[in-house]
A and B are shown apart, each in its own frame.
Chain A
Amino acid sequence: MSAPHTTPGSTGGSETPGPLHGGPDEEYTPERLATMTREELDLLGARYDGVQVLHVDPAPEPGSRVEKAAVRQVAMTFALAGLSAFAAFVVYAGSGWFLPDWQWDITEGGWSALFTPLIGGLGGLALTLVGVGMVLFTKKLLPHETAVQDKHDGSHFDRVTTGASLMGGLNTYGLARRKLITRSLVFMGGGVGLMLLMPLGGLIRNPNVGNPLGTTSWTEGMRLLRGDGSPIRPGDQQPGSLETVFPAVPGGNLESDAATMLIRLRPEQVSLERPREGQDDFGYGDYVAYSKICTHAGCPVSLYEQETSRILCPCHQSQFDVTQGAKPVFGPATRPLPQLPITVDDEGFFVARSDYIEAVGPTYWNRERI
């Protein structure tokens, strides 16, 4: 130990660590530590971490048959893992080189259908075997020790001293006394907070401009087109059939609210038909057109069972009766599917008489007000 000295430029103070530094180094000198075995040192360190090793089930005796068997098992597992990993690599790299091409092929089966299962299966097997080997290694070849570690509650000393440091520091700020600063800080915090949130304002857009939820592309005289863009005449559909139709505007077949079901009722359905009030003339002959967008959650209602006149939504199983103005008869939907008023134009093709008279799709807060 050298005597304390001061370095030029410093205003004094010891270069050697003070008594608070180092902990057990005082008690356990290098000389003393040098006399201890590795095992003793391990247990000594553990004791400083509050850990005591209670009991050790020894590993199998070196050279015993038990050990040899375990070593063989672990080595075999790792070797298999390596083999499987190399095989996965060969399949990955060799496909399209000395193995058939991996890319998708119109023919069923074959190498392209095997490629993904092979790299996944072999790769997965390799990784799993690595894990199994590691677990076998610890279970069969390591001594099993039972250790116990202490749990400490919070220290009163720490609490009191930390509290003193914190409160002492805060006290020197003097904010409780200097009210003007506190108030200006509160005001500043509000202002700066608002300012930082301000950019999010760019996300906010008014949903009530132009009633976008209540309108679709359908207008008076617009033709009803099939998905492929062809118009439809009254004679085109069999009784009992359903055709999904779209407005005759560019991209109409991808519009999210415009899809409409054109249904030709069977004669016995026509006799049962009871349209919604004020919508008696929305159909054309034995044809009716309803919105395809479910009034519950917006899925396309697609499954039409003509024997029962029901349309089922596959998402949540709402059922609508086409002979009763597409009124919901089962499931979570609350409103009928909106009906599109249709007629035929001069050339005999189906056209809309107007847009839907109500908002299509799911219900929302102010739907009834628009």
Chain B
Amino acid sequence: MARTATAPGVPTTPLGKAALEIDDRLIVAGPLRRTLNKVFPDHWSFLLGEIALYSFVILLLSGTYLTFYYDAAMTEVVYEGTYAPMRGLEMTAAYESTLKLSFDVRGGLFIRQLHHWAALLFVAAIVVHLLRIFFTGAFRRPRETNWLIGVALLVLSFAMGFTGYSLPDDLLSGTGLRIVSAIILSIPVVGTWVHWAVFDGDYVGEEILGRMYIVHVLIVPAILLGLIAVHLLMLVKQKHTQFPGPGRTEHNVVGNRLFPAFAVKAGGLFFIVFGVCAALGGLVQINPVWLWGPYNPAQVSAASQPDWYVMFLDGSTRLFPAWDINLPGNYTIPALFWPTVVLPGIIFTLLAAYPVIERKLTRDEASHHLLQRPRDVPVRTSLGMMALAFYIVLMFSGGNDVIAEKFDISLNAMTWAGRIGLVIVPPIVYLLTYRICLGLQKHDREVLEHGLETGVIRRLPHGEFIEVHQPLGPVDEHGHGQLAYGGAPVPKRMNQVGGARRAIRGFFSPIEEPARVELEQRRDEHGLSAAESRELTTSGRPSDGGRPQEPRD
């Protein structure tokens, strides 16, 4: 053997020698091994945050490409490019550069649309990730700080979105910018001063695009990058949460090691996210700025909606009644202030403070690493669904003119439906969710107590028909299951406890032997289901206790 020729442990292969050279200088073997051995929980819902991370990477790549062509200047120029319908039209240099990017750069339109789709996906993935964290209680101690960072990332992603879609300076984005100008003006006391500071004077000025550009490509991305790094470092430091299940405790993580399996899976997910964004960017047109035309303060198109994540603010602005507050001394608090500044302020403050609020209300100060099923915390789940209902009513109201037009409904009726819906839908959703949670809880407990419904009807000797139930574990003398509910999913169908073996693989013809699969499954039976004999014995009903049972063999 080669080992005997040299001192033990000295590498003999070229790769091993190179690795030794590196580790001699950098001492990375220890940290690298710890990284490779990090265990990741094996549940799809843990990948939602990863989708957000990957879309951010795509945004950085595609956004850098866009900066090669985009020009944030607001000087008026005359368009002379390829797109014939606009030739000779006056527009800002920013809009012209966007047209150039779309029509005169090979593949430029594709990258622009890819960037826009990735941006929509980025915010969507953050929101869905947030919902998962919320509904499973993953924000509880010790992860409150990471929740706060997550909320900050969400707010910053809104800022990224707004500054991004304002840059082309088309009719739609200019209208959005005009509304933002009005929102800034509506702030009591300092509104006009803030507006003059942001726009360098009255609307629209010469500076705003250049300022938004640098906010969009430098300031906010730098903060995002830093916060994402902290978010991930804290995740590694605190380790993942996990759903309750066999062998899972507050002091461990059960799953796959990063290497070899998880890294390939996560890499695969990155490529799938990238691929979906690219396909959308090529196949599905988004924000065709050449159809909107250059911005003109005197023009607007109907159905001017912002990107989906800002629609709820558009909706709140549409629904809010015309209530200016006139103060003594002829000062005014404009109606616009409440739905656009105060409402999002309250929403995001409540969101950021939720872990603290829940801790105060439940007096639960303990550290939690095991997640909760939403049904087991009905109040939180119902609160979350109530907030979601509030958000969704606002979001639909943001597009109420489109709904009114497509379904031939009165626009004013849509506005009133939104106003009334905003007040009555959330409480109804709260009550419904609460009942559903309790119902699901009861059903879990019923299955634990009385066993699974097998669908087998049996006639007893005295003529009574019963449905045979399959207990999940040992039963007491009354036929009641003795397993306690542990926060993990309870099987509801016979096949989940091995009622049938898994399907034999093979598409055209079987590629494995049924007998081997059978053996393999018997060998693999462990934990709960292996403990009991798979026999259909009782109906599982309480009254069975005193009845004559069928003889067991």
Contact = CB atoms under 8 A, between A and B. Distances in A.
Interface string A115-152: 01111111111111111111101100010111111110
Dominant secondary structure of chain A at its interface with chain B = mixed
Contacts of A205: 196-197, 200-201
Contacts of A368: 326, 330-332
8 contacts: A124-B275, A131-B274, A148-B39, A253-B298, A297-B183, A315-B300, A331-B318, A369-B331
A138 B264 contact: yes
Contacts of A57: 524
A142 B260 contact: yes
A317 B254 contact: no
Interface in B205-263: 239, 247, 250-257, 260-261
Interface of B: 3, 7-9, 33-34, 37-39, 42, 76, 82-84, 103-104, 106-107, 109-110, 113-114, 175, 178-179, 181-183, 185-193, 195-197, 200-204, 239, 247, 250-257, 260-261, 264-265, 267-283, 296-304, 314, 317-324, 326, 329-336, 339, 367, 369, 400-401, 411-412, 415, 505-506, 511-512, 524, 526
Contact of B37 (A51, A254, A257, A362): A51
Contacts of A142: 260-261, 264
A337 B149 CA distance: 44
A242 B203 CA distance: 25
B124 to A, nearest CB: 18
A364 interface: yes
Interface in A308-332: 312, 314-319, 328, 330-332
Contacts of A203: 197, 200
Contacts of B106: 92, 95, 102
A116 B204 contact: no
B265 A138 contact: yes
Which 4 residue pairs are nearest across A and B when measured between Cβ atoms?
Answer: A120-B282, A124-B279, A128-B275, A134-B268
B505 to A, nearest CB: 6
A117 B283 contact: yes
Contacts of B300: 299-300, 302, 314-315
Given A116-B113, A314-B303, A333-B322, A66 B512 contact: yes
A254 B301 contact: no
Nearest to A244: B298
B363 to A, nearest CB: 21
Contacts of A106: 84
B412 A363 contact: no
A346 interface: no
A328 B412 CA distance: 13
Interface in A181-240: 203-208, 212-213, 227
A207 B196 contact: yes
A46 interface: yes
A297 B317 contact: yes
Contacts of B326: 368
B37 A297 contact: no
Given A106-B84, A142-B264, A335-B324, 4 more contacts: A49-B38, A205-B197, A299-B304, A365-B192
A317 B402 CA distance: 12
A297 B196 CA distance: 17
B236 to A, nearest CB: 12
A69 interface: yes
Nearest to A368: B330
A172 interface: no
Nearest to A370: B330
Given A51-B257, A150-B252, A255-B297, A45 B37 contact: yes
Contacts of A117: 282-283
A69 B318 CA distance: 58
A70 to B, nearest CB: 9
A227 B200 CA distance: 27
A254 B76 CA distance: 10
A180 interface: no
A124 B282 contact: yes
Contact of A363 (B110, B275, B334, B506): B334
Contacts of B282: 116-124
Contacts of B271: 127-128, 130-131, 134
A334 B302 contact: no
B251 A150 contact: yes
A297 B186 CA distance: 9
A192 to B, nearest CB: 23
A294 B336 CA distance: 12
Given A151-B252, A332-B322, A124 B298 contact: no
Contacts of A118: 282
Interface residues of A, number: 105
B334 to A, nearest CB: 4
A20 to B, nearest CB: 15
A36 B191 CA distance: 72
Interface string A47-64: 011010111010000001
Nearest to A142: B261
Contacts of B204: 256
B254 A147 contact: yes
Interface in A35-87: 45-46, 48-49, 51, 53-55, 57, 64-66, 68-69
B253 A151 contact: yes
Contacts of A328: 322
Contacts of A303: 302
A68 B506 CA distance: 11
Which of B8, B300, B302 neighbours the largest number of chain A CB atoms within 10 Å of its CB?
B300
A66 B505 contact: yes
B92 to A, nearest CB: 10
A315 B316 CA distance: 12
A56 B16 CA distance: 28
Contacts of A275: none
A18 interface: no
Nearest to B513: A65
Interface stretch (A26-34, A157-165, A279-287): A26-34
A242 to B, nearest CB: 12
B110 A116 contact: yes
A224 B322 CA distance: 31
Given A124-B280, A365-B189, A317 B8 contact: no
Given A123-B282, A124-B277, A298-B179, A145 B256 contact: yes
Contacts of B185: 213, 362-364
Contacts of A130: 268, 271, 275
A361 interface: yes
B73 to A, nearest CB: 16
B82 A364 contact: no
A103 interface: yes
Contact of A148 (B254, B260, B339): B254
Nearest to B317: A316
Contacts of B332: 363-368
A334 B192 contact: no
A213 B267 CA distance: 54
A149 B107 contact: no
A130 B272 CA distance: 7
Given A127-B271, A297-B317, A365-B331, A138 B109 contact: no
Contacts of B257: 46, 51, 53, 145, 147
